[in-house]
Every structure is written in C-alpha cells, then in structure tokens.
Amino acid sequence: MWRPANVRTSLWVLLLAATGVVGSGLGRARQDTETGLPLSQGQAAGRFLRAVLRADYSSAYSGLAPEVRQGISLARFTAAARPLWKSGQRPGRGPAIELYKLGVRLGDRGSSRLFYSFSFAADSILRVPSELLEVTFRDTASRAVLGFGLRTGTVIKPNKPVRKTSQSR
C-alpha cells in the first residue's frame, strides 16, 4: 500500500545517502585522499568531473564502475570525455564546477539511475546554465561512475494553462 509518509521518508533517506550522511561506512566506498574519510556520492561525481576537466583521464577512468571499464578502453574513454574537457576550456569557464541538481532518471521497464548534474561556476549568474555535466550511478550505495555526459541547458517551458474568465454582466 502506498503512503505519502513512506515516500517522503524514502526520499529523505535517498537524499541523505546521496550526500554522504547515511551509508558512509560502506567498505567499498572510495576515500578522500586528504581526510581518509569515505567519499559521498556527490563528492565522487565531482572528483570524476574535475579529473576530466583537468584532462587527467587515467584518474577519471579509475572512477568508472568495473563493468564499464571492461567494456571501454582508456583510449575510447578519453575520446568520449573530450567534449566535457573542451567545454571547460571555453573562455571564462575553467575547471570550477558546482552541484546543480541531483535526482533519479526513470528508464525502461521500471529501471532508474541516480544522477548528479554540475554546472560551471562561471554559469552561476545564468538562470539556466548553458551546459550541464552529468554523472550517473547504479544506486545510492555506489561510488563508481556508471555513465557521464554533457547536456545543454535547454529550458522546456510548459504550456500556460488557458484561463477561463467569467463574464459578469
């Protein structure tokens, strides 16, 4: 039976797990090299993207899930990551990124993927960033990147509802 309270609780736990408050004791979680503490999923996503923006492809490649690394060579990964790197090379951009959005993207047959979208810090003055750097994970416990991409910040504007006005005489 579906209950709104359960959904709210589940979403709250999902948010806490994604930010690293819950589940930080996972044995396979990557650790921060400076503090030695396990990385949150958001930190792992940010670290992966910063490595790509520095053109440190071998470091970024090591952050991929094992099954992804088995299916793609470092050379193919480098070619796939190059558009993200190029995007960071535009004048005024640089490697500084900020978390823009996190969520769950629903797929075919009930599948879902947790995603993090980052925007360039230089785009923070824009209402909608021109480009978003996106990283996906298998689930809330995973710190290994399942996929990544560059999305344009196109705005989809919903149709305005037609307002019926009552005419009084």
Q: Which residue has the tokens 């769950």?
A: 104
What pLDDT does 98 receive? Answer: 92
Contact between 132 and 119 (Cβ < 8 Å): yes
pLDDT digits (tens, 9 = 90+) for 45-84: 999 999 999 999 999 999 999 999 999 999 999 999 999 9
Q: Using alpha carbons only, how large is the chain's radius of gyration in Å?
A: 19
Six-digit token pair at 140? 């809330």
DSSP state of 110: G
pLDDT digits (tens, 9 = 90+) for 132-154: 999 999 988 899 999 999 988 55
pLDDT digits (tens, 9 = 90+) for 79-123: 999 999 999 998 888 789 999 999 998 888 888 889 999 999 988
Six-digit token pair at 121? 């810090």
What pLDDT does 49 receive? Answer: 96
Q: What is the DSSP string of 108-146?
A: GGG-EEEEEEEEEGGGGGSSS-SEEEEEEESSTT--SB-
Distance CA 24, CA 30 (A): 10
Q: Which helix (H) or strand (E) holds 14?
A: helix 4-19
**Percentage, residues of the chain above pLDDT 70:** 69
Type of residue found at 88: G
Distance CA 30, CA 40 (A): 8
What pLDDT does 21 receive? Answer: 36
Q: Which helix (H) or strand (E) holds 54?
A: none
Q: Rounded to an integer, what is the distance from CA 151 to the centroid of its chain?
A: 11
pLDDT digits (tens, 9 = 90+) for 16-37: 344 443 333 333 445 555 556 7
Greater pLDDT, 103 or 10: 103
Fold of 28-152: Nuclear Transport Factor 2; Chain: A, (3.10.450)
Distance CA 103, CA 144 (A): 17
